[in-house]
Chains A and B, each alone.
Chain A
Amino acid sequence: MRNTRATQPIFELSKPGRRATRFPRPDVPARPIEDLLPEHCRAAAPPPLPELTEPDVVRHFTNLSTLNMSVDTHFYPLGSCTMKHNPKRNERLANLPGIADLHPYQPDETVQGLLQLLYELQDMFAEISGLPAVSLQPAAGAHGELTALMVAAAYFDDLGEKRTKVLVPDSAHGTNPASARMAGFDAVTIKSDPRGLVDLDDLRSKLDEQVGVFMITNPSTLGIFDDQVAEIADRVHKEGGLIYLDGANMNAILGIARPGDFGADMMHYNPHKTFSGPHGGGGPGAGPICVTDKLGPYLPSPVVCQRDGRFALDYERAKSIGRVRAFFGNVGVLVRAYCYIRTHGPDGLRRASENAVLNANYLLSRVKHFLPVPHGERCMHEFVATASELKKTKGISAMDIAKRLLDFGYHAPTVYFPLTVSESMMIEPTESESKETLDAFAEALFRITDEAADLLHEAPHTTPISRPNEVQAARNPVLKWTSC
């Protein structure tokens, strides 16, 4: 029952003279355009966009939407991405005209309700992280990393110290070393030990007075809490360096442990993960950062402050690194995070993390018998299984399993990340899934590992397409539609 005509590229549905949106004639006296715009900047004709009716547009995009898996429709255990339920109330509230239709340069006195919300959110982020100074400005997790590293660089400049290196564990997200370079540091990789934790010997050998920041993801991308974190922080601090916590995995520890209490000086949140912002098919996110008091003065301007019972944007920040984004930040995402936190309260946040960890451990206990999990019997919010044994014995790869899961109606886990585990499958169920779903998923995984290799090599079999040729896409890039 697929409507393949409606899902042709929209340009193939176009016919001259059609359109969906018509604007009124000007209600002001119109003048010839030649009198208003000089010839050098006038377009000879409007851009060659497609021409469609509203029914065309609706049917095209609605049918395209049905070709996606999503959290609303499927179990989506994509490790590291925390694909939890996206509450509908948050959508409705963030779209209230009193929030969605505010201009960023309105005077502070006309946005007191929103500034109050953002001010309270700064406080709640500070309390949850144990780090008191907050900037809501960064637009995404990677942007938060970059901003925090710039804050660190400004701090060292102020101290008159020249620190050139940022240490990054080999299991870290790729954004960590990339952010380090963009902030002007050299990224130095630290090995993992056999338990998947930071190799302290390697750290010791690379830690010196050139090191500005150690970036740690804790719980790690392997879903393990690195219990050496306080010792690592101690050593880095003794050398005068700072600890950055990649907060991608905060969903494991809300109300249980706080980065500021286990040694972090700076961190970012991913509100679109931890605090249920919808992922939007690849964005928007947000990347608010929290830092210690001593780093607070360097945060981007403005921050929300309270003066005499009124809320205001504070630009009077002499040591600030400046702006990293135009306007205030990704307010729509932040409002949803605020709604999520207020819905849960202190007990609810803690219980969300407890159930996220319970669900992950339960799934681990069901899966480990047929898909080994190299780094332990227990995990935090996610775990990393490996298909390397299956690959050797049956020629079945992590990718084969991922693709076959799609036939069973499940989104695949994250595969081939972290890079430290071969044939890795990173599985994060989140708290918003039932035991029944986890049982059914484990059952599907088990059945797949028992299936014939040939069947898996060609999987998926029931999806609109199967195994696109990615090599051809990269070798001979076709990046836009053309008529021939």
Chain B
Amino acid sequence: MPYTFNTPEDQQAMLDAIGAASIEELFAPIPSSLRLKRPLDIPAAMGELELTQHIQTLAAKNEHAGQKICFLGGGSYDHFVPAVVDAIASRGEFYTSYTPYQPEVSQGNLQVTFEYQTLICQLTGMDVSNASLYDGGSAAVEAALLCMSVTKRSRVVTTASVHPEYRQIIETYFTHLNAELVTVGSPDGVVSVEELANAVDDNTACVLLQQPNFFGCVEEAERVARIAHDRGALLVVSCDPISLGVMKRPGDAGADVVVAEGQSLGTPMQYGGPYLGIMACREQFVRRMPGRIAGQTVDRRGTRCWVLTLQTREQHIRREKATSNICTNQGLFALRAAIYLSALGPQGLREVSELCLQKAHYAIEQIVADDRFELAFPQPVFKEFVIRDTKGKVAEVLAECHELGILAGIPLAKWYPDLADCFLVTVTEKRTKHEIDQLADSLTRASVTDSVVSV
């Protein structure tokens, strides 16, 4: 019982004050028939040393990105996190506080949220940002719901090149709502613009596009924006924040709502979460936006300060009429993103973005130097790309690379049966030339091993 204070004497004194004979008596409102009459069947307590050794033993059974060279991406990335992010975010005043319900003792969090919102607007080129949502996937579905609410339309058109798990989430949410998700093909790695133009109709609330897309390819966002806007639909762009050091901001390319997975901005991969759902939109939609929003005001003495605002959108006020059921934001990761972006500034973001771009292209050259491997799609890419194994032995090749200490890529068969001979490779700024050369060598060696086996 490392975290409780009450000694037996304290307990007795407290019971006396309450007028109860025992702690047991305090639980009298729970009928005996509903009680658990045995101890919970869970493992016995551990002290800090035992627990530490136990978790260390479990952690040692995992192969982490500091041990294996990580070329995995697909929405979660091994980017560099400056020490200043960890140093500040590990302050107890930040991570052990809660939602700023009392602004007088939460100005730290509120100002950080306001700064985060501003930084996200600067990053995406949008008018307003909320205080964040759960992650990139939930931000995408909330954006779709926002567009349906704004347009009073019930159809969402997306593309096969949008993250397959994001599309699965939208499918799940739409099952019991009066809403339809239409997915347009991306046969050449980017959405078929003709097919998209046919799919967008007068009942389409929005087009959901990913930029760069799940295959790493660059979409023609402005053309897609025109197609959507011509039919009175909105454009939602799910973007990679790191790409915005070199790529056009979605807000400058016609997006009405921008969402993103913010993990890249200073949050470790943690096997998938918790992450940071970024959402920003045009000013006219702000009152339909889900989630918390911080705003500037003055206090009774006229001092500039910050509060949670526009709360009549939210569930604790509006209950079933709220814009969403969402309650929490990801305050700690919004803080990390704010520190990250402040530490990098425009030039730092430009550098990390360019490093990803250059290294990814170098990696492509090295990999396709072996005739067995080819770039699956003839498109410009940012930091990810799809490689086709012309011998179609993706599982074997990736396993061989793993033996050589490299997590070489993500097989695509699970989501794209017609891309069963392909895998997705990601190159962040952390990957050195030497590591990229090792990747290419390993793929080549896997290729040789494989031909030996097949003889």
Within 8 A of B (CB), among A134-191: 139-143, 145-146, 150, 153-154, 173-175, 177-187
Please give the distance in Å from A372's CB to the nearest CB on chain B.
17
Task: Check A342/B46 contact, CB under 8 A, given A64-B108, A470-B309.
Answer: yes
A70:B93 contact, CB within 8 angstroms = yes
B325:A175 contact, CB within 8 angstroms = yes
- Given A150, A282, A465, which contacts B99 in the complex, CB threshold below 8 Å? A282
Please give the distance in Å from A25's CB to the nearest CB on chain B.
9
For residue A73, CB closer than 8 A to chain B, the reply is yes
User: Which residues on A sit within 8 Å (CB–CB) of B244?
Assistant: 43, 46-47
- Given B64, B66, B96, which contacts A278 in the complex, CB threshold below 8 Å? B96
Choose the segment among B117-125, B191-199, B445-453 that binds chain A (4+ C-beta atoms closer than 8 Å): B117-125
Choose the segment among A78-86, A235-243, A384-392, A446-454 that binds chain B (4+ C-beta atoms closer than 8 Å): A78-86
A339:B55 contact, CB within 8 angstroms = yes
For residue A380, CB closer than 8 A to chain B, the reply is yes
For residue A72, CB closer than 8 A to chain B, the reply is yes
Choose the segment among B11-19, B151-159, B386-394 that binds chain A (4+ C-beta atoms closer than 8 Å): B11-19
For residue B354, CB closer than 8 A to chain A, the reply is yes
Task: Check A342/B54 contact, CB under 8 A, given A47-B122, A184-B177.
Answer: yes
For residue A432, CB closer than 8 A to chain B, the reply is yes
Once the chains are docked, how many angstroms separate the CA of A464 from the CA of B105?
Answer: 8
For residue B90, CB closer than 8 A to chain A, the reply is yes
User: Which residues on B sit within 8 Å (CB–CB) of A229?
Assistant: 34
Please give the distance in Å from B10's CB to the nearest CB on chain A.
5
B3:A257 contact, CB within 8 angstroms = no
For residue B358, CB closer than 8 A to chain A, the reply is yes
Please give the distance in Å from A423's CB to the nearest CB on chain B.
16
For residue B59, CB closer than 8 A to chain A, the reply is yes
B75:A327 contact, CB within 8 angstroms = yes
Once the chains are docked, how many angstroms separate the CA of A347 from the CA of B46?
Answer: 12
Once the chains are docked, how many angstroms separate the CA of A380 from the CA of B30?
Answer: 10
Within 8 A of A (CB), among B355-403: 355, 357-359, 361-362, 380, 382, 398, 402
For residue B205, CB closer than 8 A to chain A, the reply is no
For residue B455, CB closer than 8 A to chain A, the reply is no
B104:A358 contact, CB within 8 angstroms = no
For residue B454, CB closer than 8 A to chain A, the reply is no
User: Which residues on A sit within 8 Å (CB–CB) of B97?
Assistant: 68-71, 279-281
B249:A261 contact, CB within 8 angstroms = no
Once the chains are docked, how many angstroms separate the CA of A296 from the CA of B245?
Answer: 45
A378:B29 contact, CB within 8 angstroms = yes
Contact with B along A450-464 (1 / 0, CB 8 A): 000000001010011
A73:B328 contact, CB within 8 angstroms = no
For residue B203, CB closer than 8 A to chain A, the reply is no
B62:A102 contact, CB within 8 angstroms = yes
User: Which residues on A sit within 8 Å (CB–CB) of B20?
Assistant: 361, 378
B75:A326 contact, CB within 8 angstroms = yes
Once the chains are docked, how many angstroms separate the CA of A57 from the CA of B343?
Answer: 7
Please give the distance in Å from A438's CB to the nearest CB on chain B.
8
Once the chains are docked, how many angstroms separate the CA of A154 from the CA of B173?
Answer: 12
- 6 closest A-B pairs (Cβ-Cβ)? A98-B59, A327-B272, A113-B61, A72-B92, A345-B45, A184-B176
**11 pairs from A and B in contact (CB 8 Å cutoff):** A28-B433, A52-B342, A78-B98, A93-B59, A101-B64, A113-B59, A333-B274, A412-B102, A465-B299, A478-B295, A479-B296
A96:B296 contact, CB within 8 angstroms = no
Please give the distance in Å from A362's CB to the nearest CB on chain B.
4
Apart from A182-B173, A431-B6, 15 more pairs, CB < 8 Å: A37-B382, A42-B246, A47-B244, A66-B108, A69-B102, A89-B51, A97-B64, A113-B57, A283-B329, A284-B134, A323-B169, A339-B51, A434-B5, A465-B104, A479-B295
B39:A256 contact, CB within 8 angstroms = no
A103:B271 contact, CB within 8 angstroms = yes
B307:A473 contact, CB within 8 angstroms = yes
- Given B5, B88, B297, B354, which contacts A33 in the complex, CB threshold below 8 Å? B354
Within 8 A of B (CB), among A9-37: 9-11, 18-24, 26-31, 33, 36-37
Please give the distance in Å from A448's CB to the nearest CB on chain B.
15
User: Which residues on A sit within 8 Å (CB–CB) of B433?
Assistant: 27-28
Residue of A nearest to B88 (CB): A61
Once the chains are docked, how many angstroms separate the CA of A49 from the CA of B249?
Answer: 13
User: Which residues on A sit within 8 Å (CB–CB) of B43?
Assistant: 342, 345
A346:B42 contact, CB within 8 angstroms = yes
A466:B300 contact, CB within 8 angstroms = yes
A435:B55 contact, CB within 8 angstroms = no
Once the chains are docked, how many angstroms separate the CA of A38 from the CA of B380?
Answer: 7
Residue of B nearest to A471 (CB): B297
Once the chains are docked, how many angstroms separate the CA of A258 from the CA of B192?
Answer: 53
A-B contact count (CB 8 A): 701
Please give the distance in Å from B330's CB to the nearest CB on chain A.
4
User: Which residues on B sit within 8 Å (CB–CB) of A22?
Assistant: 348, 351
- Given B106, B129, B168, B247, which contacts A322 in the complex, CB threshold below 8 Å? B168
Once the chains are docked, how many angstroms separate the CA of A399 from the CA of B141?
Answer: 36
For residue A329, CB closer than 8 A to chain B, the reply is yes
A86:B96 contact, CB within 8 angstroms = yes
For residue A294, CB closer than 8 A to chain B, the reply is no
User: Which residues on B sit within 8 Å (CB–CB) of A280?
Assistant: 94-95, 97, 330-333, 335
For residue A420, CB closer than 8 A to chain B, the reply is no
A68:B3 contact, CB within 8 angstroms = no
For residue B322, CB closer than 8 A to chain A, the reply is yes
Please give the distance in Å from B422's CB to the nearest CB on chain A.
14
Once the chains are docked, how many angstroms separate the CA of A385 from the CA of B300?
Answer: 28
Once the chains are docked, how many angstroms separate the CA of A62 from the CA of B165?
Answer: 37
For residue A285, CB closer than 8 A to chain B, the reply is yes
For residue A288, CB closer than 8 A to chain B, the reply is no
- Given B219, B362, B407, which contacts A106 in the complex, CB threshold below 8 Å? B407
A321:B175 contact, CB within 8 angstroms = yes
User: Which residues on A sit within 8 Å (CB–CB) of B27?
Assistant: 256, 357
B345:A18 contact, CB within 8 angstroms = yes
B222:A40 contact, CB within 8 angstroms = yes
Residue of A nearest to B379 (CB): A38
Task: Check A139/B274 contact, CB under 8 A, given A477-B309, A477-B310.
Answer: yes
B30:A225 contact, CB within 8 angstroms = yes
- Given A41, A331, A349, which contacts B248 in the complex, CB threshold below 8 Å? A41
A23:B249 contact, CB within 8 angstroms = no
B300:A255 contact, CB within 8 angstroms = no
- Given A180, A182, A332, A378, which contacts B274 in the complex, CB threshold below 8 Å? A332
A19:B94 contact, CB within 8 angstroms = no
Within 8 A of B (CB), among A293-342: 300, 315, 321-333, 335, 339, 341-342
B330:A283 contact, CB within 8 angstroms = yes
User: Which residues on B sit within 8 Å (CB–CB) of A285?
Assistant: 328
Within 8 A of A (CB), among B72-87: 72, 74-76, 78, 80, 82, 84, 87
A256:B134 contact, CB within 8 angstroms = no
